[in-house]
Amino acid sequence: MNIISTNIEHVQEIITLRRDFMDKTLLAYLIYLGISIVLTVWVAKTLHKNGRIFLVDVFHGNEPLADSVNHLLVVGFYLINFGYVSLALQLGYRIETDYAQVVEVLSYKVGWVLLVLGGMHFFNLLVFSRIRRQAVIPDLPPPVQPDACTIVRG
Amino acid sequence: MDTNIPLTVLYDKRCVLCRRVRDWLEEQPKYVEMKFIEAASKDAYYKFPEVDHNRTLTELTVISDNGLVYKGEKAWVICLWALEEYREWAVTLSSPELFPLAQRMIMWVSSNRFKISKFLGK
């Protein structure tokens, strides 16, 4: 009797192990990285494409300059965001329970990545907007109309 | 309108506040050249023969070298507009929301400028 129950337990253990095709923590990490990298690249490409149009206008059609500034901004964007994704990866414990917990962990971590990406995105827009303002100021016409016209001698 | 035509500011030399403002304006970095002539002086009469010079003693007047005349609050706004660091301010102040307020403030300072000068000393 004992041998049979031990065997049954042993088989159950093997079945459980087989269902666990990958360590849950590792799975969570890989999915997290996959989603975060895709999201970061997508937002960066959006910024790059639309930022260029904006910068070319700000720099009065000077395309090499616009491309240069745009590239610099995007590099900074990638550095900060990948930096955050990397730092925020660590869970601090192993996922031992179930796959629902994997989803919970992912939703939490990806949520923060999205918030940071969103924050950086708006920050970039702010930077673009400041650049534009500074470039446009010397071209602003007088904001008031003259009261009269007169002769000027000398 | 060609936006780089020099401006001439007719200032009230009797008023200490006006002199101080003139000195300050002179020191500021500018997009547009600014010249200063005493209001109702011989130079003023010569340069601007058609202008009512008595009025220029009570109301700040700024005239561009191509004959455009700005008086009162508009003259103030044009002075700010000429300055590198205040051009944006000038545009903001002339917005419909803020201009009436700016007008009242400028009128108040202008009518009280001798009192203010006394308050500033000298």
Helix (H, G, I), strand (E, B) or coil at B61: strand
Give CA–CA dist A81/A33, Å, rounded.
Answer: 12
**Beta carbons within 8 Å of B61's beta carbon, 6+ residues apart:** B9, B10, B39, B51, B55, B69, B70, B71, B75
Please count the CA atoms within 13 angstroms of the CA of A2 that sit on its side-chain side. Answer: 0
Task: Give chain B positions within 8 Å (CB) of A147.
Answer: 69-71, 74
Split at pLDDT 50, 70, 90, the class of A133 is confident
Report the distance separating Cα B16 and Cα B77, nearest Å: 20
Among candidates A133, A145, A149 on the partner chain, residue whose Cβ is nearest the Cβ of B67: A149
Cβ contacts of A28-31, under 8 Å, gap ≥ 24:
A28/A91, A28/A95, A28/A102, A28/A105, A28/A106, A29/A89, A29/A91, A31/A102, A31/A106
Q: What angle do CA B112, B117, B120 make, to 5 degrees?
A: 130
> At A66, which amino acid appears?
A
**What's the gap in Å between the CA of A60 and the closest CA on chain B?**
18
ipTM of the complex: 0.80
Task: Specify the pTM.
Answer: 0.66
Q: What local confidence, expressed as pLDDT, does residue B107 receive?
A: 87
A140 vs B: CB within 8 A: yes
- Mind listing the pLDDT tens digit for each residue in B48-106? 999 899 988 888 999 999 999 999 899 999 999 999 999 999 999 999 999 999 889 88
Length of chain A: 154
User: Do A154 and B50 make contact, defined as CB atoms within 8 angstroms?
Assistant: no
Report helix, strand or coil for B71.
strand
Whether the per-residue pLDDT at A15 is higher than 90: the answer is: no
Q: Is residue A153 within 8 Å of residue B46, measured between CB atoms?
A: yes
